[in-house]
Amino acid sequence: STNSGGTYTLTTDLSYKNFFAAFDFFSGPDPTQGFVQYQALEAATSQSLVGFFEDTQSVYMGVDYTTKDAAGRASVRLESKDTFNQGLLVVDVRHMPDSTCGSWPAFWMVGTENGEVKWPDAGEIDILEGVNDESRNAVTLHTSAGCVVDNATTPVVGATGEVQMPYLGTMATDNCDVAAVDQDKNVGCSIKAPEPAEIKGVATYGTEFNNAGGGVYAMEWTDQAITVWFFPRNSTGIAQFSSSSNATSGSNSTAGSSLDASTFGTPLAKFSGSGCDFTQRFKDLKIVFDTTFCGEWAGKVWDQGCAAKTGVATCQEYVQNNPEVFANAYWEVGGLRWYQK
- 42 burial (CB, 10 Å; 0-12 / 13-18 / 19+) is exposed
- Mark whether 296 is an active-site residue: no
- 124 in active site: yes
Please pick, among 79, 113, 116, 129, the residue that the annotation labels catalytic.
129
**Cα torsion for 141, 143, 145, 151, to the nearest 10°?**
-10
Q: Please give the Cα distance from 222 to 200 (Å, whole number).
A: 30
Active-site pick, 79, 124, 134, 208:
124
Is the dihedral angle over the CA atoms 335, 12, 339, 112 positive or is it negative? positive
Cβ 302 vs Cβ 294: under 8 Å:
yes
| Torsions phi, psi for 129 (to 5 deg) | -155, 150
Which residues pair with residue 207 across a beta bridge? none
Which amino acid, 82?
Answer: D
* Distance separating alpha carbons of residues 266 and 268, to the nearest angstrom: 7
Q: How far apart are CA 20 and CA 41, in angstroms?
A: 9
Active-site positions read 124, 129
